[in-house]
């Protein structure tokens, strides 16, 4: 119901910051994950690659903590990334329970491309904003996100089982 649909969305909804935020967020998420999907990846994959790129190798546990992902889910994500050759798993010889996960060159390259995709999406979506406005928007969102109690990358207080 943007400009496309003949009937406008209810102002009552658009007047609510929360609702509007969830709407645009959904759109962003959708477009982004569409792009990633064309490479067989999902948002979590990108998140993991980014975490590794930003902070170096992690144990899976640490990745879980950083990204607020369930360990069992992380296992699956890591498994797939390993399949793509984007990460490397090595048993920690000191504590053989642990698996240390590190980025491969392939992974680093992949991440670069993914970031490129993300930038493309934002250029699409944020077209109506000037550069200044984008920067402001970004800083606002960052403030909000940073303050959010447990507003993890995963924001798990979502729809799970009540």
Query: Binding residues for a copy of itself, how many (CB under 8 A)?
Result: 82
Query: CA 80, CA 41: separation in Å to the nearest integer?
Result: 9
How many Å apart are CA 153 and CA 54, to the nearest integer?
15
Question: Which range in 24-32, 78-86, 95-103 contacts a copy of itself by CB under 8 A?
Answer: 24-32
CA-wise closest residue to 86 among 42, 33, 34, 35: 42
Task: Choose among DNA, a copy of itself, none what residue 141 binds, the Cβ cut-off being 5 to 8 Å by kind.
Answer: a copy of itself
Say if residue 115 is exposed, middle or buried (CB neighbours under 10 Å; 0-12, 13-18, 19+): middle
75 close to 59: Cβ distance less than 8 angstroms: no
> Edge-to-edge, what's the strand order for the sheet holding 87-91?
58-59, 99-103, 87-91
Region near a copy of itself per CB under 8 A, out of 31-39, 76-84, 85-93, 94-102: 31-39
Q: Residue 72: name its binding partner from a copy of itself, DNA, none (Cβ under 5 to 8 Å by kind).
A: DNA
Coil, strand or helix: which one is 103?
A: strand
Beta carbon nearer to DNA, 28 or 134? 28
**CA geometry: angle 140, 33, 85, nearest 5 deg:** 115
Does position 95 interact with DNA (CB under 7 A)? The reply is yes
To DNA, the closest distance from the beta carbon of 135 in angstroms equals 27
Using CB under 7 A, which residues numbered 30 to 89 contact DNA?
Answer: 33, 37, 42-44, 59-61, 64, 69-76, 78-79, 89
Query: According to the binding rule CB under 7 A, does residue 157 interact with DNA?
Result: yes
Q: Which residues bind DNA (CB under 7 A)?
A: 26, 33, 37, 42-44, 59-61, 64, 69-76, 78-79, 89, 94-99, 154-162
């Amino acid at each position: 119901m943007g400009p496309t649909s003949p009937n406008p969305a209810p102002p009552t909804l658009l007047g609510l910051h929360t609702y509007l935020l969830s709407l645009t967020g959904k759109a962003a998420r959708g477009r982004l994950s569409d792009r990633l999907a064309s490479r067989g990846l999902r948002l979590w994959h990108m998140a993991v690659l980014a975490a590794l790129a930003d902070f170096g190798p992690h144990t899976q546990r640490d990745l879980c903590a950083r990204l607020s992902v369930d360990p069992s889910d992380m296992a699956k994500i890591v498994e797939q990334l390993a399949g793509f050759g984007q990460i490397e798993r090595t048993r920690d010889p000191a504590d053989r329970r642990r698996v240390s996960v590190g980025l491969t060159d392939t992974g680093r390259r992949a991440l670069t491309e993914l970031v490129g995709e993300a930038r493309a999406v934002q250029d699409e979506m944020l077209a109506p904003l000037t550069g200044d406005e984008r920067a402001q928007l970004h800083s606002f969102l960052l403030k909000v996100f940073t303050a959010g109690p447990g507003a993890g990358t995963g924001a798990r207080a979502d729809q799970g089982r009540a």
